[in-house]
Structure 1
């Protein structure tokens, strides 16, 4: 019976090409827009290479220190110093791994001087420690990460991506042990990793070096021993350990503020925060209104899906009026209302599935072609892509079956409802009325 309905639906589709085309296009656009939105946040939130541990990763990226007496306080907001790493964070027991990254002028403005003298070019740099490669699951094509002894000695060694290896050496094979010049200093390659994507900003770089290569990495800022330029990332086993870690750090804040209230006090706000919260929170001191965020995205989703569904409902109502005489004839030969309604629903399901395929293709095309801006379209403070950086969109980002299935299911439900209401209304009319319709 279902096969027969689908054959009849296909025949009607060919008989009414304009209606069918508009229906498929409308459904396709709705699914495409929904898919784009879903994939953008899938890339931000889901475990994608190399940030496969996002569910168990916590971040501490900002700190506020205040000095002076009450009423005459000076505030300094930055991050934490090397001393804070050693005294507060590296010794943490409620973490599988603790990693720090140094943010300074070298991070923001590093240039490579290629051996062929083709001209300096800017490179994405992370100054970090060996635990960085425990938290982020990079795939090493050859070699390995730098070691703790490399970090302690300040040796100029580096992990580079395969893309940079090809640009510097023309290959990714036998690159370990070779050298390149960055900021007019020679670095030895200790490992080559599969390139990540600029869309995974917590881990993205082209060169990874020990933070000890920076001459001033131990230097605190503004005369406060614990104020500096290090961000801290934690890997935990589960939510229980995450809560225990958060309590430990809040206890550090409480104790430190009690010990020297007249010298300085520190505030980490609600940090360390989860990866999910970091996506929606613009700055550490912001109090995120979860329900306001949910309402915002529900409103966008309703606009993307409900408006096309209402338009399609009007089209279907008009079409059902044109088919009243056909329905009247079929009723007179004994076809029941449920059977006729079932046929109409199968017809619209076929059109919806065809629209879903079109929408999927349009979404993939838009996400790939417009990848340099579409992934920041929902950000409050979008960053521009640095010159020369290719925004890599991997297969696991685009081909997310659960995302497509969820978007298609929503569209199917709305489209079938948009078909059900006008179809049910038309089929309730008496046979005589339907037979006398001359449309």
Structure 2
């Protein structure tokens, strides 16, 4: 029986090619948009190289400073190196803490300057190579001794190495970085731009280059960012408590201003959404995301419902003829369900394939496997199936209840 339903559903699709194509395309578009929306969010928060520990990381990328006298906020900025070290370095509740700056744009060139181009440079400390899981193709990262000594050492990406030297076996060779000689100590796989905490073309010790510090606000402000790696996510609360104590101790040393961390350090979600406080803001962001997904489902579904009604109006004569030959209501409804199931299945498969293609084009520099969400796809597919089926089954039920003569008049 099911095989017969399937054959009839296939015939129905072939017979109404335009309406079938529109219905399938509408379903595919709804599922594709939802998949892309969800996968884009997952690209920001999921674990993948070199940011394989995002679920165990906390972030501090900006802070405020307020007057001690009246408690008013004077301004906001990134942290100074003094603030980063005194408030975060050596925390007992963390596995590791890395201090970086905001990325810089510098000119990199071979020593004979035959090859030169601008690149994204990320100054960082030695703990950076522990917190993030880079894949070294040649050499290794610079060490803590290199950072403490301010040595001019550099790690470059595979693409940068090939553009400069035509090979990745370049450890020990020198390059100009901002017209200053640096020695290459390692080459790593290219990093996706979506791994925004670690993405760059070149990585250097932050002590090897001049980083401008702001002279105001008791040297609270600067260009530094902090990432904290917890041993396990359950340690987040203890880390925040220790940071709060450090913040209070630090503020007692400052003469005119107090540091304000705005409930940082924050999780990857809070860092991505630039939240001051994760509590209410996180709920608001999630609520907005759910509403957006529902709209992406409902708006196409309303249009598809109209098409389904039109399709069923055309099939009332067919239903009348089949009733005249003794077809039971349950058989008619089952056939309508099978038709819409096939529409939804084809549209879902097309939507999934198209979203995979778009994701590949958007995120070709990372492995997109972890970003794909079968659960989201199945929920969207089920939702489309329910709406498509309800839009068709109700008219079919009404048609199967009407007198046969009324339906035959349509034939």
Confirm or deny a common fold (TM above 0.5): yes
State the 1:198 CA deviation: 1.1
- Give the alignment partner of residue 427 of structure 1, picking from 397, 400, 404: 400
Structure 1 counterpart SS, 2:141: coil
1:124-135 matches, cutoff 5 A: 124-135=120-131
Corresponding position: 1:272 with 2:268: no
For residues 408 and 202 of structure 1, do their structure 2 counterparts lie closer, same or farther at Cα, with a shift above 3 Å needed?
farther
CA-based RMSD of the aligned residues comes to: 2.7
For residues 63 and 393 of structure 1, do their structure 2 counterparts lie closer, same or farther at Cα, with a shift above 3 Å needed?
same
For residues 200 and 437 of structure 1, do their structure 2 counterparts lie closer, same or farther at Cα, with a shift above 3 Å needed?
farther
Structure 2 counterpart SS, 1:273: coil
Corresponding position: 1:189 with 2:161: no
1:80-119 matches, cutoff 5 A: 80-103=79-102, 107-115=103-111, 117-118=113-114
State the 1:277 CA deviation: 1.6
State the 1:271 CA deviation: 0.2
- Give the alignment partner of residue 212 of structure 1, picking from 207, 218, 221: 207
For residues 116 and 14 of structure 1, do their structure 2 counterparts lie closer, same or farther at Cα, with a shift above 3 Å needed?
farther
The equivalent residue for 2:70 is 70
State the 1:150 CA deviation: 1.0
- Give the alignment partner of residue 315 of structure 1, picking from 307, 324, 334: 307
- Give the alignment partner of residue 160 of structure 2, picking from 159, 164, 174: 164
State the 1:203 CA deviation: 1.3
For residues 196 and 341 of structure 1, do their structure 2 counterparts lie closer, same or farther at Cα, with a shift above 3 Å needed?
same
Contact 1:198–1:392 (Cα < 8 Å) also in 2: no
The equivalent residue for 1:263 is 256
Contact 2:5–2:338 (Cα < 8 Å) also in 1: yes
How many residues end up aligned between the 2 structures?
410
Matches of 1:340 and 1:180 in 2, distance apart? 76
The equivalent residue for 1:58 is 58
Structure 1 counterpart SS, 2:58: strand
For residues 196 and 315 of structure 1, do their structure 2 counterparts lie closer, same or farther at Cα, with a shift above 3 Å needed?
same
For residues 216 and 343 of structure 1, do their structure 2 counterparts lie closer, same or farther at Cα, with a shift above 3 Å needed?
closer
For residues 134 and 16 of structure 1, do their structure 2 counterparts lie closer, same or farther at Cα, with a shift above 3 Å needed?
same
The equivalent residue for 2:354 is 362
1:100-149 superposed Cα distances (whole Å, 9 cap, x missing partner): 1023xxx4331112356356421111111122122222111222211111
The equivalent residue for 2:372 is 400
Matches of 2:79 and 2:384 in 1, distance apart? 48
Matches of 1:406 and 1:181 in 2, distance apart? 53
Matches of 1:261 and 1:215 in 2, distance apart? 25
State the 1:76 CA deviation: 4.3
Matches of 2:223 and 2:107 in 1, distance apart? 21
Structure 2, gaps ≥5 residues long: none
Structure 2 counterpart SS, 1:13: helix
Contact 1:68–1:74 (Cα < 8 Å) also in 2: no
1:228-267 matches, cutoff 5 A: 228-257=222-251, 259-260=252-253, 263-267=256-260
For residues 74 and 415 of structure 1, do their structure 2 counterparts lie closer, same or farther at Cα, with a shift above 3 Å needed?
closer
Matches of 1:410 and 1:196 in 2, distance apart? 37
Runs of 4+ in structure 1 deviating by more than 6 angstroms, as ranges, are none
Moved more, 350-359 or 159-168: 350-359
Structure 1, gaps ≥5 residues long: 372-390
